[in-house]
Amino acid sequence: MGFFQGISYNFRGLFFSLRSPKLLILGIIRFVAVLILTIILATLILAYHQQILNLIWAKPSSHWIIWLWHIVSWLLSFLLVGTSAVISYLVAQILFSVVIMDIMSRITERKVRGQVDEAKVSLLKLFGYLVRQEIPRTTIPVLISLVLMIVGWVIPLGPILVVLSSLVAVIFLSWDNTDLVPARRMMPFRERFKLLLKTLPFHLGFGLPFFIPGANIVFLSFAPVGATLYHIEKEASQTKASPPASERYPT
């Protein structure tokens, strides 16, 4: 699976969702959950904006530099809103979206294959497992991107590292979706990560629509569908003699 195939699967997932009322509603719910959390957290953080600013820099009495203080105040506001958006995404992704994404993946697999191939475990155990898998998938790209951005501020290669951090984030955002099926089938994390490393061009292509301002929210909301189609068709192309994933990775 190459770069252009990754792009096509993202679009195919979106068009597939538009033909399914259930998938369409779930995608909208996922978007609204992140939006509501962002608004709530941004409101709470901005309510303490003045106190945070005073800790950084008390308002100067000199009229010659007060304009600089106002600039810092505005920059802090943007930083706080951006931070609230990141935190809201992480919280929503771990507590809400992982469940919605798994449901969307299940609906897609059932529509295409007629059944869902998964490990035979209790619903509670599966939910806990999916949440635990979501934590590294969500936090790793954010941490890597932040490290690259901070390093970019102190060395001359800043613009290159900004681009690199964006590419890394997009690859992990793609993997957050393509990893749904293997995680549901209890494939070990190490083997799933190896699959990611072997298909970096595909994941980069799959995440390319996430760069489109405005539309990226739509593509992110319905990405689990395209990622599931990718796994279903990939498995269909493999030999029929291979045992199902639930047997290859017993619990």
Q: Where are the domains of the chain?
A: 3-232
Instruction: Give 211's contacts (C-beta < 8 A, 6+ positions apart).
Output: 166, 170
One-letter amino acid for residue 109 of the chain: E
Q: Work out the burial of residue 138: count CB atoms within 10 Å of its CB; fewer than 13 is exposed, 13-18 middle, 19 or more buried.
A: buried
CB 201 within 8 A of CB 4: no
Look over the chain and give the mean of its residue pLDDT values, rounded to a whole number. Answer: 78
**What confidence score (pLDDT) does residue 206 get?**
94
pLDDT (tens digit per residue) in 32-52: 877 787 778 777 777 777 777
Highest mean pLDDT among 71-75, 140-144, 145-149, 240-244: 71-75
Cβ-based neighbour number of residue 40 at 10 Å: 12
Instruction: Give 76's contacts (C-beta < 8 A, 6+ positions apart).
Output: 49, 52, 53, 56
Closest to 219 (Cα-Cα) out of 161, 159, 177, 158: 177
pLDDT (tens digit per residue) in 104-113: 999 999 999 8
Cβ-based neighbour number of residue 27 at 10 Å: 26
Closest to 104 (Cα-Cα) out of 170, 13, 6: 13
Cβ-based neighbour number of residue 14 at 10 Å: 20
Q: How confident is the model at residue 251 (pLDDT cuts 50, 70, 90)?
A: very low
Q: Work out the burial of residue 193: count CB atoms within 10 Å of its CB; fewer than 13 is exposed, 13-18 middle, 19 or more buried.
A: middle
**What confidence score (pLDDT) does residue 5 get?**
92
pLDDT (tens digit per residue) in 170-184: 888 889 889 888 888
pLDDT (tens digit per residue) in 79-108: 676 666 666 666 666 666 678 888 899 999
User: Average pLDDT in the 142-162 region?
Assistant: 66
The pLDDT of residue 13 is above 90: yes
The pLDDT of residue 249 is above 50: no
Contacts by residues 119-122 (CB-CB < 8 Å, ≥ 24 positions apart): 119/184, 119/185, 119/186, 119/245, 119/246, 119/249, 119/250, 119/251, 120/246, 120/251, 121/186, 121/251
CB 172 within 8 A of CB 179: no
Q: How far apart are CA 103 and CA 95, in angstroms?
A: 14
The pLDDT of residue 6 is above 60: yes
